[in-house]
Amino acid sequence: MRKMGFFDSLKQGLKRSREAINEIFYMGGEVDESFWEDLEDTLVMGDMGAGVAMRVTDDLRERAARENLTRAEQLRDALIHRLAAEFPAASRDPFTDLPSCVLFVGINGAGKTTTVGKLAGRAKDSGVPCVIGGADTFRAAAIEQLEVWGQRAGIDVITRERGADPASVCYDVVEEAEKRGAQLVLIDTAGRLHTSSDLMRELAKVVNVTRKRSSIPVSVVLVIDATTGQNGLNQAKEFNDALELDGLIVTKLDGTAKGGIALAISSQLGLPIYRIGVGEKIDDLQTFDALDFCRALVGEGM
Per CB under 8 A, contacts with another protein among 26-85 are: 41, 44-47, 49-51
Among 30, 58, 97, 144, binds another protein (CB under 8 A): 144
CA dist 8 and 2 (Å) reads 10
Among 141, 208, 283, 291, binds another protein (CB under 8 A): 141
Strand duo 273-277 + 285-287: pairing: antiparallel
Among 228, 236, 240, 288, binds another protein (CB under 8 A): 228
By CB under 8 A, residue 148 contacts another protein: yes
Q: How far is the CB of 171 from another protein (least distance, A)?
A: 24
Tell me how crowded residue 20 is: count the other CB atoms within 10 A of its CB.
19
Among 147, 172, 289, 300, binds another protein (CB under 8 A): 147
By CB under 8 A, residue 193 contacts another protein: yes
x-marked contacts with another protein along 238-267 as a string, rule CB under 8 A:
--------------x-xxxxx-xx--x---
By CB under 8 A, residue 13 contacts another protein: yes
Total number of residues shown for the chain: 302
The single-letter DSSP state of residue 283 is G
Nearest CB to another protein, comparing residues 126 and 151: 151
Which helix or strand (DSSP H or E) is residue 89 part of? Answer: none
- Interface segment toward another protein; rule CB under 8 A; list 118-126, 143-151, 164-172, 283-291: 143-151
By CB under 8 A, residue 99 contacts another protein: no
| Degrees to nearest 5, angle at CA 189 with 249 and 163 | 165
Among 63, 180, 213, 237, binds another protein (CB under 8 A): 237
Pair 137, 144: CB distance under 8 Å = no
| CB burial of residue 298 (10 Å; 0-12, 13-18, 19+) | buried
Nearest CB to another protein, comparing residues 85 and 141: 141
CA dist 221 and 228 (Å) reads 17
Among 232, 250, 263, 285, binds another protein (CB under 8 A): 232
Question: HSE-up of 300 (CA within 13 Å, CB side)?
Answer: 13
- Residue 99: asked if its preceding bond is cis (omega within 30°), the reply is yes
Order of strands, edge to edge, in the sheet holding 130-135?
Answer: 157-159, 130-135, 184-189, 100-105, 218-225, 247-251, 273-277, 285-287
Number of residues that bind another protein (CB under 8 A): 52
What is the binding site for another protein (CB under 8 A)? 9, 12-13, 41, 44-47, 49-51, 107-111, 117, 139-142, 144-145, 147-149, 162, 193-196, 225, 227-235, 237, 252, 254-258, 260-261, 264, 268
